[in-house]
Amino acid sequence: MATVHIEANKDDIAKTVLMPGDPLRAKFIADNFLTNVKVVNTIRNMNAYTGYYNNKKVTIFPSGMGIPSIGIYAYELYKFYNVEEIIRIGTCGTTKQDLNILDVVLAISSYSLSNYPKLFDNDIINEISSDVELNNRIKISAKNNNINLISGEIITSDIFDPYLDNFDRYISNYPDKEFVAMEMESFCLFYLAKKLNKKASCLLTIVDIIGKNISVDSSDREKSLKNMIKVALDSIL
C-alpha cells in the first residue's frame, strides 16, 4: 500500500505516531530512543522511521512546516494507515513574560484563523481541543519524569511571528484572552483527528519569548528537547 506522499506498507506504520516538524529530528529520535528501527518513508526526503520503545511499536513521522504540510501527512496516516493517535512534538514562541526558554507546553486546544476547516468540509471553526485521554497520559508521563508541564490554549498561525514588523497589530486579530504559546501546525492536526474520530495531542518546547533577546546553549536545548521526547514516548506505554 502507498499514497501519493507515503511509500510505506500498511503494516510498516504503528498505531501511534510521534510527529516532529523536522525530518532530522525524526532521525534523532529514531537513532537515540528506538530499537529495531526501519526506514518506512523517503518520499520528498520526509524520512520516517518505525521501531520499538520498550517493546511498544511506534512510528516517528515528520510533518514539515505549516498547516498544509501537516494536513497531508496527518490525513494520510489517519485515513489510509489506520493510525489511532498522533502526538506532535515541536517548538513554539510565547508572549508570556513569566515563562522561560525551554519550558514545555501541553496544548489543550488551538485557536487559528486558518480556512482549512472551511476548505476541507465547509466547517466554520476557529478553535479545536486536543484529546483529553491522550493529554492525561502525557500529564502522568511528565509527572513520572519530573517535567513541569504548562497546559493551556495555543495559537496556530500561518505566520512565523519573529518576522513580523508589527506584532501588536498581528495579535489584535485574536481573541482577548490568554494563549500560552504560538506555533504553526497543531490546529490542523486536532481538526483532522476530530473529523476522522482519532486522537491527537501536542507537546511544545518554548524557544522564543516575544520581547526578550535570549540565547540558549545548544546542550541545554538538546537536553530540553530530549525531555519532551521522553515524556511523549513514555505516554504511549
The catalytic position among 168, 208, 220, 234 is 208
- Radius of gyration from C-alpha coordinates of the chain: 17
> Among positive and negative, which fits the CA dihedral 46, 101, 190, 53?
positive
User: Which triple of cell numbers denotes residue 161?
Assistant: 511571528
CA distances from 81 to 3, 34, 60 (A): 9, 21, 14
Residue 208 annotated in active site: yes
Sequence-separated contacts (24+) of 225-228 with Cβ below 8 Å: 225/25, 226/32, 227/104, 227/145, 227/147, 228/89, 228/104, 228/147, 228/203, 228/204
Q: To the nearest 10°, the Cα dihedral for 94, 96, 99, 104?
A: -40
The Cα–Cα gap between 76 and 230 comes to 26
Which are the catalytic amino acids? 208
